[in-house]
A and B are shown apart, each in its own frame.
Chain A
């Protein structure tokens, strides 16, 4: 299964960051003698995919910008997407906000999870065993079963 919405949101950014970090991790492993040419090739492959993704996103942004600029001269389109100039301005602001907001949000999520971990280690969060609460599917009410 794929949890969440593949390709969207913070999840996509998270995996981008993971790929960005790979060479550093691999360099550390190389220094410890635990890497190999095959592993570096693997990292190179992920980087190629990442660069291709960034490339198409950049191209898409450029095309969109061209479209909005062009739409200023088309009254019908301009009225459809609101006032073109205003729309372009909104898009620019949204784009900047989305980029900065996504990085901040991702950092906050990872930091929050780490703080929870620390809180548990320090005993600040008391143990509440929810296993009993989280069901036991022992008495099925129908005869269907999953793949």
Chain B
């Protein structure tokens, strides 16, 4: 999984680990804030958690991330920042905030590789992966940990909301997330099969994660790979909508393109990799089949068939581009109203129409490259 051998990794970690948090003031403070919470998180689950944050050139955002983790109502026992051979001050900033910082001897080349580099240091029952540009709601960890109450559940993921909602791309993503995390994902969770435990904010049982060999680098969507692997080995995954995180989303087309390219290829790669296993799981089988159909067919309709119909039959076919907007708006506005962001959601709705065309474009490109040209994406590119 990782390009570095174990000895190299161990020596690098010993050399670069600047601080071990236990037993420090941080871990002493790692106690539930109230008696009720103490009861709820008593015994084995009390703070028995390591947070790993892979970071490559994240000097601009890593401080906010670490502070939000440290300010949790249920603090983690350890916070490990994997400074993945950054060329900026990521490591120094993290170190100055009291986090454990480890640095591999060279860039691991992937988020999964960086996360795996931290695994030998993890001695807690649970491990949480958080992106270096992602902050958490103050009770994010506490809420998310509740998703692992059932011992059969191996992973839990939370609700994702873009931290900044200013540009067209951020607004489009904001609507997309509000829709997906309010309508699609809770339904998947009701049937006990969320399609993916999002890598930007997920918690895992460490032993189950290790049984699966950590985060695999064979696809460019390691979170989807891991989620589907869990299902195939009989473990469950939960979505906890009350646990909220705020990542920085791509603010321009260049970065959005990189992210969508990786996500689209990641989905196709995981379908190719897991199709046989996924077919054995009734709900996941149908969900993935429908998602694959939509990814291919709906994209073709949006990009090619509707414009042709509009030109050669009637312009009225252009209405198909906006016909479902009210349907999308219902769950979006429902959630936005709960968050007091109705105006922001209304203003952002048109951006969603743009983003979904770009989604379609990258999905077609990924399907073509992976299935027809047999040219899988092998290079990770940062999405912001």
Contact = CB atoms under 8 A, between A and B. Distances in A.
A80 B315 contact: yes
Nearest to B332: A7
A120 interface: yes
B294 A10 contact: yes
Given A110-B286, A110-B290, A113-B285, A134 B198 contact: no
Contacts of A140: 107-110, 378-380
B240 to A, nearest CB: 13
A43 B313 CA distance: 42
Given A5-B299, A59-B326, A135-B376, 4 more contacts: A7-B324, A18-B191, A140-B107, A147-B384
A34 interface: no
A91 interface: yes
B233 to A, nearest CB: 15
A145 B298 CA distance: 30
Interface in B286-326: 286-295, 297-299, 301-302, 313-317, 319, 323-326
A127 to B, nearest CB: 7
A123 interface: no
B183 interface: yes
Contacts, number: 234
Contacts of B134: 147
11 contacts: A4-B359, A5-B356, A15-B184, A82-B313, A106-B290, A127-B276, A130-B272, A137-B110, A137-B380, A139-B109, A144-B379
Interface of A: 1-12, 14-15, 18-19, 22, 42-43, 46, 49, 52-53, 56-57, 59-60, 64, 68, 80-82, 86-87, 90-91, 94, 105-106, 109-110, 112-114, 116-117, 120, 127, 130-131, 133-147
Contacts of B323: 60
Contact of B359 (A5, A15, A82, A136): A5
A3 B259 contact: no
For the complex, would chain B's binding face be called helix, strand, loop or mixed by DSSP majority? helix
Contacts of A46: 186-187, 190
Contact of B330 (A2, A56, A81): A56
A43 B191 CA distance: 11
B294 A52 contact: no
Nearest to A4: B294
B327 A7 contact: yes
Q: Which of A1, A14, A112, A120 has the most B CB atoms < 10 Å from its CB?
A: A1
A6 B176 contact: yes
B326 A56 contact: yes
Contacts of A133: 272
Contact of B262 (A5, A90, A116, A146): A146
Given A49-B331, A110-B289, A110-B290, A145 B316 contact: no
A147 B190 contact: no
Given A82-B316, A113-B279, A144-B381, A5 B298 contact: yes
